Structure 1
Amino acid sequence: MKKVISAITALFVLTLTAGNLFAQTTGRISGKVIDQKNSETLIGATVNIEGTTKASATDADGHYVLSGLAPGKYTILIRYIGYQSKTVSDIEVKAGANTPLDVTLGQAQSQALNEVVIKATYRQASVGALYARQKNSIQVSDGISSDIIRRSPDRNTGDVLKRIGGTSVQDGKFVVIRGLAERYNNNLLNGSVLPSSEPDKKAFSYDIIPASLIDNIVVYKTATPDLPGDFAGGAINTITKDIPDSKFMETTLSIGYNSKATFKNDFIDPQPSGKYDFLGFSDDSRKLPPVYADNKAIYTSGTTNNQKIAIAQQFPNTFGSKTITTIPNINFQFVTGNSKVLKNEGRLGYNFALNYSTGYRESTGDRTQYNVSAPDQLPLYSFDRNIFSSTKTLGGLFSLGYTTSRTKLVFRNLFNNDFSKDYEQTNNALNRDGDPNNPIHYRGFSSEVTQNGVLSSVLEGQHTIGERKIIVDWAGSYGLSYRKQPDQRIVTIFSAPDGGEYLSLPSENSPLSNILGRVYSNLNENIYSGKINVTYPFKWLNQPQKIKAGGLYTYRDRDFTIDALGYVDIVGNGKSIQLANGTNIENVFSPQSIANNNIAFSRIDLQSTDYVGTSKLNSGYLMLDNKFSDKLHLVWGARVERYEQKLAATGKAVQNYVNTDILPSANLSYALTEKSNLRASFYKSVNRPEFRELADFRYFDYQNNFNISGNKNLVRSTISNADLRYEIFPSSGEIISVSAFYKKFTNPIEQVNLDNDVLSYDNAVSAEDFGAEVELRKKLNFISENGLFKNLTFYVNASYINAKVKFRNREEAKTPLQGQSPYLINSGLFYAPESGSFTFNVLYNRIGERLRFRGVDPHTDIYEKPRDVIDFQVSKRLFKNGELKLTLSDILAQTNALYYNIGDVNKIAYSAATDKIIQNRFNGFTTNLSFKYSFK
């Protein structure tokens, strides 16, 4: 208890005296001491400043801090029982700054009495630590560090993930790994499972986490028993910042320009605005009015026509809009943190970050529909489609950490709220209904607010017990994900032959919310999780070994509500309302007009089904980490998962699903040389249906104009995975690797087309996925040790994937998995001198044609056309502690296009001669200028 009180008191002192902390004249050295062979941190190593009595011991995280050092150059000596001692010289300390230094130690070769001391310079030691981490990872994985994130033009995690080998991002936020759609990924935040941010699928919207809050991201492409077993593409672990090495405070202000939206004087903004829109939160004015919400149960059967008209009058008349001139996008960020060494040699630290942004987006494009049986005929319909969006983002991070020589406690919190107010219009629309001689002209619009958010709180601990140094680590977490879409308003205005315009009001029995109506939906998902792991180290074959066991319990509950309401003629069989003589879209749904025209709502039951879902995951595992020699390393074991899922939808029978799976895995690594590895792995995994996929009812997808229906007969899919990888590490920060993988799916879950614009889900018979990956990261100093090439790094990672899925009714076609791309390319060129005073980088990204929507037959499959993305960034330090950064994003600004694969269905590459583009979206390019200032 005294330690806890001491820690809390120290935190308050740190916070209250923050202004003075940044004026110190001394510096510090800090970092981790790492085992050279396995990259594990060493607990209890001593670190001394040579020639002084100043010393530090590494804590439960292997971390040390030497503080209160006068500016100058130092040499440190690191000792640890059973390891060779090491001195590191030429360590420069600057006033008010931290010098980071991770050091590797090699195990002693004999029990000789004379101490052997390995000597290294500061740069040699830093390079060695980074090299050890790269080489000794047991899994096939890829990652990206905070340093690379800082030097990239990426503003959110979704952008960052595009830079990782074998990874692409769909719709700017959903991750596709090795060509497999987001459903095959496991999303972790600080090691704890993230709740889904989407109402209809297993996915997390990574664009809501600011890149500046990330310490590192690791994508595990093979499994070990201590990871959750429900992934086949990858497990994405996003680690946010916890205990800083030294005090810091930074502010960043960014101003952005978009070629489509900024300084636009005809940007459409739906009205009215809410009181809290400027913060990114919707107020109560958009909620479903209580007069309806409190009478849902009797609305359709126990309410008279006059009562229904009176209820419709209580809905706000919010169908107006105004034209504004947009200003540049603005982002502000404040980040601070500090750490302090306490009297008991413990260390306390915190990180705090606040992020706010506001901006505008405009997406223009068109939508065309063809008769696939006669694609050369006139289109069935076509229209322009423009979307105007004003956005707000408010997010923050707070982490508090306390560590001693045997214990580490960290409390991590992340919150982010993303708000978008959208106005979508269709202009110059033409619907031929299959008959070019009978055109129907119309225009339409919809207005909606979407508020997405995520809250994650994790309390984690690590304890080293006894002389054997048994490690016990645990975590308890709570996650909240929400998606609010209050009051989406949809209006379609038809043109009469005489040039006038009118609204078509259907009868009460045939409402169409996607033509004329309002939709209210709300999703909340909570996820509670607890885990514990015990690692027992021992020696065998004169090599360090470990046995690890643990368990995980996760409980999810989801509450989804939706009300789809169509405006109807409550007393007749339908009629038209002329928009003339003072009647317009801004007053046609006023209380007076509703009464005069007998307008009411009819609830569309097929699209208004609420549901509640719960799931429980109980899992345990046993894992052995065996080193048979200095070269051969095997991690193997098995995981058992029992999954219980329950779904209760309004008016439907409760659905229950229970599965128990045994999931073995093995990862083998062989060090061919000091700089190269050969890796092989095998693991079994599962893919379970999501709540919405099981929900046995239909709803309308307004974004893509499809009806979506669940399937209560879905079963979970099982996957067998195998990987082989050869990698070379020429020097620190460099890698050359070649990988191959194979995946066999049984009962894969795929979206299917039931015809008549209805999509559902089904288990295919099987699927196979073959792939290869190549990665190269190489410094160009071999060209010249002077000038530009000395500090220039080139990297490229590319993937080729060949996937086939076998359906019972489509066996003749080589159908790819949904969301699967045949190839991925990420590439870049970085210039970063040691001083870091001037840097630049150029980044390139491309994905192959991927299946977006499955058609009734292969000729109606809808694919996404490839596009090239080039980003550029240059930065320059100013005023000693300032940094000016210019970013150009998506310079080519190519359109996002969808097309029918009308030609050879076994060759999905786009062909302008035979395939038909059905949708184009153009978002423009973005320029961003930011200035960051560090208070040191």
Structure 2
Amino acid sequence: MKLKFLILTLFITVLGFSQNKGTITGTVTDKDVNNQSLPFANVTLKGTKIGVNTDIDGKYSISVVPGNYVIQFSFVGYEMIEVPVTVKANETVTINKSIGSGSYKLEDVVVKASAPNRQKETALLLEQKNAVEIKQSIGAQELARKGVSDVATAVTKTTGITKQEGSGNIFVRGLGDRYNSTTMNGMPIPSNDPEKKNINLDIFSTDILEYVSIDKVYSSRLYGDFAGGNVDIISKDYKGKGFLKIDIGSKVNSNAVGNDNFSLQNGINSFGFSTSSIPTNALSNYNYNSLNLDTKNPIASTVGISGGKLFNVGSESKLNLFSTVNFGSDFTSRNDGTAKGAVNGSGVVNKNFEKYTLDSYNTNFTAMLNVGFKINNANKVSFNSVFINTSSLSKEEYTGFIVDIANDGNGLIRRNKYEKNTLWINQLLGDHKVSERSNFNWGVSLNSIDGDMPDRNQNIFRKEAAGYQLSTISAPDNHRYFQNLQETEAAANLAFDYKFDKTGEGEYNGKFTLGYNGRMKKRDFEATQFNFKTAASAAATIVDPNNLDSFYNQTNLSNGVFQIATFRGNDQVSNALDPQTYNGEQFINGGFLNTEYNFGKLTGVLGLRGEYVFQNINWNTQLDPSGGYDELEKIAFLPSLTLKYELNEKQNLRFGFSKTYTLPQFKERALFVYEDVTEVKVGNPDLYASDDYNFDLKWEMFPNADELISVTGFGKYIMNPINEVTIASSTNDISFINTGDFGYVAGAELEYRKTIFNRDDNNKLSAGINASYLYSTQELSTEKVIKETDYNVVFTDDKSKFTGASDLLLNTDISYFKSWNNNESTLTSTLAYTYFSDRVYAIGTNDRGNLVDKAFGSLDFITKIKWNKKIGIDFVVKNILDPKINRVQENASGDINVLSYKKGLNVGLNLNFQF
């Protein structure tokens, strides 16, 4: 009876005690990101074990007994704020708090099941510190600070990565396009260039991303076609208050605005959506677009709108939406240029242009929709759709000596080119917590790319005393070229995680991950070139290069002044309009098993991946009018090992080893020829895959939340490496060849980020530098090439660097940050410098030296002012030093400069309004 009375008394006491509690509630926001709600922040009562994490909306609630407390607000990579509070019985106290980055040390941070804002530099650094994998990330905050507007430039701000001048192609640790891969949210995306494996990263605006992750160390979760690195674009996953933002801006290129004769082909839509197909009766009727030029006012503009909102659906579910639509244009111009082509081993130049210019107008339209649906705390699905349309309208002119055409240096080659690419990415992703021990995530994607060159036209002139005459030496001298690429790819990722070996603290030491990746790609490519051959009787006709419509018209075609024919023949040949084609299919199916285990200070991941690769290509081209077919099949077993050893709370030592392969691409194996003005590229059906062995050793230290020191040593051994090689031909053709039995790359990387001073987090000066040194060499075997291919190659040297490999890469920047008006007004100014040393463009043969892109550096200045919560101004000046860009062909008697020009300064001003 006494026991029952005691239990009843305790129950009543507890009940009465709980009824007399008070509540502390509120919302935590991120003052560094426009005071958006901050999910998963830590809210604790100082000196107690009472604490919670904020929910997806940044809200929290704590029930406590009446009394005086100090409430602490903290988050990964942010300062901790303490606020005194008095709690009374049966009352609710509301405390809303905004927190941001601080200067405290990483070891002071208490991490509690947090999901950091990966746009922030500090959060990404902490994620890098805690991750077992060896990778680098760069977030939206750092990209904005450095004035970066596209993904290609973004990745070059990380260690050991450069971008090929004039394109969005990147080199990772000296290894070019074929050695790298590109994904979005872990799913593969197609290429927009028939010559390239990877999509041009220039077309991705940083407006659509949360951060970019670069894996330079292989993990079995990735496809095995890996040696340089994988660039993963993580799209924005918006969480926070609803917002609407409008951006408008303008920019100019100093060369373009200083060019009084900036003109481009007439009749092309300025929004970049123009399409043009081969006209009807193209051989017998003249229905082509105008060749006349239209003078442009080279002042570019940008406009964009973006918005996001989170909705509560029931008691547990959340729906978050983010969308952005942007259109930008850009005028560029190369001046002070020279070019040379068809240089032989004795240094004789068959094309010597004392003047080279390139004017271009480029557009980028981007639209993205992200929809995330959190069903409950255990299940989330999301849908990402990205539509990108880019265009480039350019005019290249070469003036000078052309052997047998303009021997007096009185030649002129003009090439107008219009390119249009339309990419559509669709992804459906899911993440499901099956139990305390297990998790299942998946993804499916369907992507398509249309890569059009609706009308590339070229004319060669010879200037005589009376004026210009069209060349009649060869039919292709004057031509119009139409090209279309269509590629679709479906892909799927599946991964199941299972934790094991539970500790007394409720954590797990080990984890198994079983997964599958599959992708199916199909490419259809066709091209037709119409050659305009001037009749001998009209060879002396004087033409105006700026008014070619007066010569190329229906009247002159009907009168026999010129004829139109393809490589198959004129309108009397039944199949003359059949295009050159190549079609490719590729299937990759891979499965993997990862075992991760924490031995205390040492954590290791052992992975094994198996892949089956099948690639087939068929073609019908001018090199093989009867058509051909080729297959490539590969079964690969790819082990990998990653180790992380925690030297102390601030320092890690990491090790990575893996085996991978490098797969040749469709265009590299198709027997198709692409003719540029100064070079010709042709495919090699005998090309086959390389095998790669990769090694990394890295030490890193994190002195403070926003500071890093790291040193990395790496090596790669590549069997049967693939290179671009100048083959024996009259026009210096370049092809793709397994050039030897082996090659290797070794190098070191250094990264240092330092806060120079930080006063109350309102007045901050910081600096960063990353540098890499690279040594590469490979065997060059003439006998191997002759034995394995149909091409005649005699290497000038028996060893060479890898194409694209620079000995030294350098990125450095210094930034000043100032805030006032309770952080509603801010100023950020950054000075950034990038440098790369000489790198091989193509390997020389037949006594010709290597083609080498010479070293240069680039300096940019960026200032961003946020006047208040709603209005901001950005001012950017890029390429301040405006160095000369040079490509040389090495020669025993001295280097021959085959390409030289200046890009000019780019100055931009942007206004943004947020509601």
Aligned to 1:206: 201
| Separation in 1, partners of 2:370, 2:462 | 56
Query: How far 1:378 moved relative to its partner?
Result: 8.4
Secondary structure of the equivalent of 1:367? Answer: strand
Query: How far 1:710 moved relative to its partner?
Result: 1.5
| Separation in 2, partners of 1:885, 1:183 | 36
2:806–2:837 CA contact under 8 A, matched in 1: yes
Aligned to 1:399: 370
Aligned to 2:39: 31
Consecutive unaligned residues in structure 2, runs of 5 or more:
1-33, 63-68, 86-92, 570-577, 621-625, 783-794
| Separation in 1, partners of 2:123, 2:832 | 27
2:472–2:539 CA contact under 8 A, matched in 1: yes
Aligned to 2:549: 586
Aligned partner of 1:688 among 660, 663, 678: 663
1:608–1:699 CA contact under 8 A, matched in 2: no
Secondary structure of the equivalent of 1:150? Answer: helix
Secondary structure of the equivalent of 1:290? Answer: coil
Query: How far 1:430 moved relative to its partner?
Result: 2.0
Query: How far 1:344 moved relative to its partner?
Result: 2.1
Note if 1:280 corresponds to 2:251: no
Aligned to 1:770: 746
> Pairwise mapping of residues 502-901 of structure 1 onto structure 2 (< 5 A)?
502-505=469-472, 511-512=475-476, 515-539=477-501, 543-568=508-533, 576-579=539-542, 585-604=548-567, 609-629=580-600, 631-650=601-620, 651-695=626-670, 697-702=671-676, 705-755=678-728, 756=730, 757-764=732-739, 765-781=741-757, 786=759, 791-809=764-782, 810=795, 812-833=797-818, 835=823, 837-857=826-846, 859-901=848-890
Query: How far 1:639 moved relative to its partner?
Result: 0.6
| Separation in 2, partners of 1:828, 1:583 | 45
Note if 1:411 corresponds to 2:404: no
Seen in structure 2, the aligned counterparts of structure 1 residues 788 and 48 have a Cα distance that, compared at 3 Å, is: closer
| Separation in 2, partners of 1:559, 1:655 | 15
> Pairwise mapping of residues 91-240 of structure 1 onto structure 2 (< 5 A)?
132-170=126-164, 171-240=166-235
TM-score scaled by structure 1? 0.81
| Deviation readout 1:719-739 (Å, 9 max, x if unpaired) | 000110111111112111111
Secondary structure of the equivalent of 1:288? Answer: coil
| Separation in 1, partners of 2:536, 2:251 | 52
Aligned to 2:894: 914
2:224–2:638 CA contact under 8 A, matched in 1: yes
When structure 1 is superposed on structure 2, of 646-655 and 484-493 the one drifting more is 646-655
1:27–1:97 CA contact under 8 A, matched in 2: no
Aligned partner of 1:486 among 454, 477, 484: 454
Secondary structure of the equivalent of 1:492? Answer: strand
Seen in structure 2, the aligned counterparts of structure 1 residues 56 and 265 have a Cα distance that, compared at 3 Å, is: farther
| Separation in 2, partners of 1:886, 1:416 | 25
| Deviation readout 1:208-256 (Å, 9 max, x if unpaired) | 0111221001101111111111111111111010232332221111111
| Deviation readout 1:16-56 (Å, 9 max, x if unpaired) | xxxxxxxxxx98742237xxxxxxxxxxxx978999xx998
Note if 1:421 corresponds to 2:393: yes
1:224–1:636 CA contact under 8 A, matched in 2: no
Give the AA of the match of 1:431: I
Seen in structure 2, the aligned counterparts of structure 1 residues 96 and 162 have a Cα distance that, compared at 3 Å, is: farther
Aligned partner of 1:442 among 408, 411, 418: 411
| Separation in 1, partners of 2:246, 2:530 | 46
Note if 1:65 corresponds to 2:58: yes
Give the AA of the match of 2:450: Y
| Separation in 1, partners of 2:876, 2:241 | 29
Aligned-pair identity in percent equals 22
Query: How far 1:192 moved relative to its partner?
Result: 0.6
| Separation in 2, partners of 1:163, 1:194 | 22
Seen in structure 2, the aligned counterparts of structure 1 residues 787 and 550 have a Cα distance that, compared at 3 Å, is: closer
| Separation in 2, partners of 1:536, 1:58 | 27
Seen in structure 2, the aligned counterparts of structure 1 residues 538 and 91 have a Cα distance that, compared at 3 Å, is: farther
Seen in structure 2, the aligned counterparts of structure 1 residues 203 and 129 have a Cα distance that, compared at 3 Å, is: closer
Query: How far 1:380 moved relative to its partner?
Result: 5.9
| Separation in 2, partners of 1:100, 1:78 | 9
1:511–1:604 CA contact under 8 A, matched in 2: no
| Separation in 1, partners of 2:694, 2:636 | 15
Seen in structure 2, the aligned counterparts of structure 1 residues 96 and 370 have a Cα distance that, compared at 3 Å, is: farther
2:650–2:701 CA contact under 8 A, matched in 1: yes
1:47–1:64 CA contact under 8 A, matched in 2: no
Aligned partner of 1:473 among 407, 416, 441: 441
When structure 1 is superposed on structure 2, of 539-548 and 202-211 the one drifting more is 539-548
Aligned to 1:382: 353
Secondary structure of the equivalent of 1:666? Answer: strand
Seen in structure 2, the aligned counterparts of structure 1 residues 790 and 139 have a Cα distance that, compared at 3 Å, is: same
| Separation in 2, partners of 1:848, 1:117 | 42
Query: How far 1:482 moved relative to its partner?
Result: 2.3
| Separation in 2, partners of 1:94, 1:385 | 69
| Separation in 1, partners of 2:74, 2:835 | 46
Aligned to 1:260: 255
Query: How far 1:382 moved relative to its partner?
Result: 2.5
Secondary structure of the equivalent of 2:40? Answer: strand
| Deviation readout 1:400-452 (Å, 9 max, x if unpaired) | 0011200111101111111121122223x223559x9x536222312221112
Give the AA of the match of 1:550: G
1:130–1:733 CA contact under 8 A, matched in 2: no
1:155–1:211 CA contact under 8 A, matched in 2: yes
Aligned partner of 1:336 among 302, 307, 312: 307
| Deviation readout 1:556-610 (Å, 9 max, x if unpaired) | 01111100121125xx778615126999622211100111135322212599520
Aligned to 1:909: none
Seen in structure 2, the aligned counterparts of structure 1 residues 99 and 278 have a Cα distance that, compared at 3 Å, is: farther
| Deviation readout 1:284-341 (Å, 9 max, x if unpaired) | xx2101334xxxxxxxxxxxxxxx5xx2x243251211334x1521111111101123
| Separation in 1, partners of 2:232, 2:316 | 31
| Separation in 2, partners of 1:777, 1:57 | 30
Query: How far 1:897 moved relative to its partner?
Result: 0.8
Note if 1:934 corresponds to 2:914: yes
Query: How far 1:393 moved relative to its partner?
Result: 1.6
Note if 1:358 corresponds to 2:323: no
1:27–1:95 CA contact under 8 A, matched in 2: no
Seen in structure 2, the aligned counterparts of structure 1 residues 581 and 669 have a Cα distance that, compared at 3 Å, is: closer
TM-score scaled by structure 2? 0.83
Query: How far 1:690 moved relative to its partner?
Result: 0.4
| Separation in 2, partners of 1:871, 1:87 | 35
| Deviation readout 1:117-155 (Å, 9 max, x if unpaired) | 99x9x99xx999666423112222111011111212111
Give the AA of the match of 1:885: D
What is the number of equivalent residue pairs in this alignment? Answer: 818
| Separation in 2, partners of 1:328, 1:867 | 27
1:754–1:760 CA contact under 8 A, matched in 2: yes
1:30–1:101 CA contact under 8 A, matched in 2: no
| Separation in 1, partners of 2:882, 2:74 | 53
| Separation in 2, partners of 1:87, 1:761 | 57
When structure 1 is superposed on structure 2, of 715-724 and 391-400 the one drifting more is 391-400
Give the AA of the match of 1:776: Y
Seen in structure 2, the aligned counterparts of structure 1 residues 564 and 49 have a Cα distance that, compared at 3 Å, is: farther
RMSD: 3.7
Query: How far 1:874 moved relative to its partner?
Result: 1.4
Give the AA of the match of 2:608: A
Seen in structure 2, the aligned counterparts of structure 1 residues 95 and 291 have a Cα distance that, compared at 3 Å, is: farther
Query: How far 1:902 moved relative to its partner?
Result: 2.5
| Separation in 1, partners of 2:884, 2:738 | 33
| Separation in 1, partners of 2:393, 2:136 | 36
Give the AA of the match of 1:632: L
